[in-house]
Structure 1
């Protein structure tokens, strides 16, 4: 059975009741109730109240937005439960009038996480209601699904004695359905939004609001059993690939698009003045950067000056943050921040040895765990008291501030993501309270909801509870790493699937994350490639490489051969002359090392050509998270014990980075032994989930080849980072370092990242080298090796 939460219905143990509001809101939705033996269904309005015998559930058809299975049992008592008060993007907030006799208002929750929930209360009240339809089901399995939570008073209804495991909705962490709490039990009463309905998992139809599908069978519902093992969820049946990977537009494609293209494009009057991609006058040299980095300047989204450091932020205090959140529209005008109650700075020293927990906070900027008090208690989906703030490091000359702000230049894209998309997608992303940047000075500030991470990595967590954060290149500390990587694979497929559908309906996202000239060239190539079969694509690829007009395009991608060779030589020198004793012996035996480096060098000569091949495949076009390792994700289990994943830390988000290249970078930090067993399975998991979301068949074998090619041409760029290993420790200090678990490596964030990368590259080249598939690619396309 399925529980759907919508504004007009509530469930009461043995009955499903339709509450008739005083206005005609329900008339706008022509809900149809299916009959077990009849294809058509009568309108809800025609149905008369009927008594419902014990053991029966009633039904009315809802919209399908997202679902996860939960099992109900009888016999245990409950103290409290929660229901959301946040509306889904694209669904209007309910505005009906609730009869006072039918409602008891719940008090605002006291905990920060509870602001998107409402606590159960004990007194019961009666409701004017109409009984809808009965369907015989014994001991049903229940799915809870949020269809349209509404900002409105909550109603109390009677509920049978049974444990309930509410599931999370795929949207922002705290702004939507409850994300983090353990099992709760319903005793006598439960507070729910005034529309909840129970229906059988198949054989239903609904007429929905504009832009939604006429009929949807949610994944895994129609006659399918709930997955019982992680592998079942991770690896569904292999899809059958079509010639070009595309699904023809049809009912299935329309239904998928309605489900996944949930982001609403900006209104024209907003879009006309909305910031776009571009350099914005950012400095391009160290000298120019030094001149402006300390300059106060207004942000480009909201027009306010903002603090440049943690000290300035503390000095500008609650008054500035109130003004900023009022400007962004995230804090109601009748409320304000009156006090900072906690101001805990993290990741301030990424080039020094710190405590192990401090070294887990990343290296791209300082983080502030901020807690605040308000002039009045927040209600509904208003911002809570616990926030997370990120700002760039102050430039010292020793840290990576110049590299991150100028060379990588990913902060504008992250600011764009937060203002445009974050918290509004079918894949969980953080909810933002204020985000702005000035590109000319490279300064920024992001204020967002604080994710309620667990703190004990050995503890077992309940449904919806966020697991402790994964440390970069610290998978050896994770007890659930295998499940996390499969969840991560599915989450990436869903996010790329969201973009696939959204890009069919609007170009706003692409325009904000891509360079117009590059996008124009890219789409011209896509138009040529899309109708071709694989053999014709290879022929077109070779033809492009021989075309002098395409040379600038090819040369703009990947690393030039000379640069790639120099970075590999730098890594070889470090391995042979500085840190040989730190690496596992099996990786640096002369024959093994020589073979690995020779293969990497040969692939590197063709880095630009391989990069161009990836770029020209239209099915690989997406909005990229270029640093999507699992430390930039959050994890929790659903009610059936399946691991789920959300994505955070969107620096450098862009259109144009191909899907195989993103995957290769995303899993670079996984333990080599794990990847030896699971690498190809993870790629197949991604392909299966992507097909489920989009209908697009990415041949798993071809995708795996392109994933391996992406690994190969990316290796020189990884090796470039080895310079930090000799900047952060002298040769003499390296003599005293034992291995990657030594505190001089593991407790210095940048050292850990850039040393462990090299060790993992050597392990990759030893057991999973991309070289054999590189040779196969060269043979298939007819390309000649470079001398």
Structure 2
């Protein structure tokens, strides 16, 4: 596809390094090893006595929601232990697709985060950063990191979201590792071990860092509820019986309208306790993780794709990391994982918070965010896969190639089951009684 947009650029001046940085794949190909040498030196990834001598492999990488992505293989003048030759590159811009290009602002906070990860003692494993810079005025950025070698050596294969039932015999150890990593990063932030200016670089925004705002008026919310209930009637085989009963639908309707009416109180609670807010990953689903086992056979995890990273509430963190997990996690192990999060958070320097408070925070986050956003998921499912009404069930093979439909159905079901288990209306009553 030919790029014809008037805002297309080949180079941008990085706000952090001041370098002339390629803005898209072909510009990077042209800049080649010479640019990579100066970039890696400026970022501290290699010393002034080393250089990138050759780009051996330059392969497009599909997927993602933002700009171009590449796999690079390079050679150095002085190969060193721990210096990666197989790299992953992503640009913030997609000059050929305006819809994807609108996501370019996600990289704005990711660049300083990549800088942060190079500090000694960073508490969790992430792909090693070799270069990152961004131009705030245009939203143009470039990040170069270690390439995660999924399925090679000790690194386990990549896992797609909402397919735990096909890719894992026992998902629980994996989600223990994810929750542990999230808690330890939060703890390092609260203990002051990340950087002295962390709160200035990543200020908390109560709008972007908490549950989405509810944009419906009462009539609009009722229309959304009616569409959700109609989906359950039209395709009952896609949902568990307990979340599509008339009694539960009536409860959903009552609770949803009360949640909308008390949204301000809910958001004051969700954003009002700084012990429950920290710098963290907002989308730590299994497809944004990599796993490996050490010589003793113990499982470990690292996290990738840090777009939009910032200070967020614990409800946002836990929902973002667990909402796509196997139903067995939510049905039988959520209490254990929330207790683990609270324990790891305190053990590694965070304030003492109870498992019950973490659970209450997650419950009210899900109530608020769910009314704002998740109730509309049946529309996404039907739009992306209209024939789903003929499926035998939620694990029908027709869902396998259609990620948006499969993911939305799974997360919507998790949401409804937790609503029934936690009784969002009763949780709201407890909050109002506190106030």
Give the TM-score category using the shorter length. Answer: 0.7 to 0.9
**Residues of 1 paired with 2:370 and 2:211: CA distance?**
14
CA distance in 2, matches of 1:608, 1:508: 30
Q: Quick one: distance in 2 between partners of 1:469 and 1:309? A: 26
Q: Which residue of 2 aligns with 1:599?
A: 255
* Structure with greater helix share of residues: 2
Q: Is the 8 A contact 2:74 2:85 kept in 1?
A: yes
Deviation at 1:752, TM superposition (A): 3.8
Which consecutive residues of structure 2, in runs of 5 or more, have no partner in the other structure?
Answer: none
Mean CA deviation greater in 758-767 or 676-685:
758-767
**2:416 equivalent in structure 1:** 762
Please show how residues 291-310 of structure 1 align to structure 2 within 5 Å: 292=7, 294=9, 296-310=11-25
Match of 2:227 among 566, 573, 581: 573
1:447 partner SS: strand
Using a 3 Å threshold, how does the CA distance of structure 1 residues 365 and 563 change in structure 2: closer, same or farther?
farther
Residue of structure 2 equivalent to 1:647:
303
User: Which of 251, 261, 270 lines up with 1:614 in the alignment?
Assistant: 270
| 8 Å Cα contact 1:622/1:658 also seen in 2 | yes
* Match in the other structure for 2:292: 636
* Aligned pairs for 1:33-52 within 5 A: none
RMSD: 3.4
Higher CA-based Rg: 1
Question: Which of 46, 64, 87 lines up with 1:331 in the alignment?
Answer: 46
Aligned twin of 2:107: 411
Determine the structure 1 residue equivalent to 2:348.
693
State the secondary structure of the residue aligned to 2:356.
helix
CA distance in 1, matches of 2:68, 2:399: 20
- Residue deviations 1:172-216, cap 9 Å, x none? xxxxxxxxxxxxxxxxxxxxxxxxxxxxxxxxxxxxxxxxxxxxx
* TM-fit CA distance, 1:389: 1.2
**Counterpart selection for 1:624 from 254, 265, 280:** 280
CA separation of 1:297 and 1:675: change in aligned 2, threshold 3 A = same
Q: Taking structure 1 as reference, are residues 396 and 485 closer, same or farther at Cα in structure 2, changes over 3 Å only?
A: same
Given the alignment of the two structures, is residue 371 of structure 1 paired with residue 73 of structure 2, yes or no? yes
Contact 1:564 1:716 in 2 (8 A): no
Alignment partner, residue 473 of structure 1: 162
Conservation of the 8 A alpha-carbon contact between 2:239 and 2:394: no
Q: CA deviation at 1:512?
A: 0.4
1:305 and 1:724 mapped to 2: Cα distance?
44
Q: Is 1:684 equivalent to 2:384 in the alignment?
A: no
Q: Distance in 1 between matches of 2:318 and 2:385?
A: 34
For the 8 Å contact 1:626–1:665, the answer to whether it is kept is yes
What secondary structure, in the 3-state scheme, does the structure 1 residue paired with 2:12 have? coil
2: CA distance, partners of 1:370 / 1:311? 13
- Write the deviation string for residues 607-632 of structure 1: whole angstroms up to 9, x where unpaired: 33212112221322321322222332
Contact 1:561/1:607 (CA < 8 Å) preserved in 2? no
Q: Secondary structure at the match of 2:36?
A: helix
Aligned equivalents of 2:260, 2:199: Cα separation in 1 = 30
Matches within 5 A, 1:67-86: none
Quick check: 1:413–1:653 contact (8 Å CA) kept in 2? yes
**Offset at 1:684?**
0.7
Residues 557, 612 of structure 1: 8 Å contact kept: no
Task: Tell whether 2:421 aligns with 1:773.
Answer: no
**TM-score, structure 1 normalization:** 0.49
* Residue 775 of structure 1, CA deviation: 2.5
In structure 1, distance between residues paired with 2:429 and 2:353: 22
Correspondence 1:102-181 to 2 at 5 A: none
TM-aligned CA deviation for residue 410 of structure 1: 2.7
Matched, 1:709 2:364: yes
Give the whole-Å Cα distance in 1 for the aligned partners of 2:92 and 2:80: 32
Contact 2:12 2:22 in 1 (8 A): no
Q: Distance in 2 between matches of 1:747 and 1:634?
A: 22
Contact 2:238 2:393 in 1 (8 A): yes
Distance 1:618 1:710 in 2: 15
Say which of 182, 185, 188 aligns to 1:492: 182
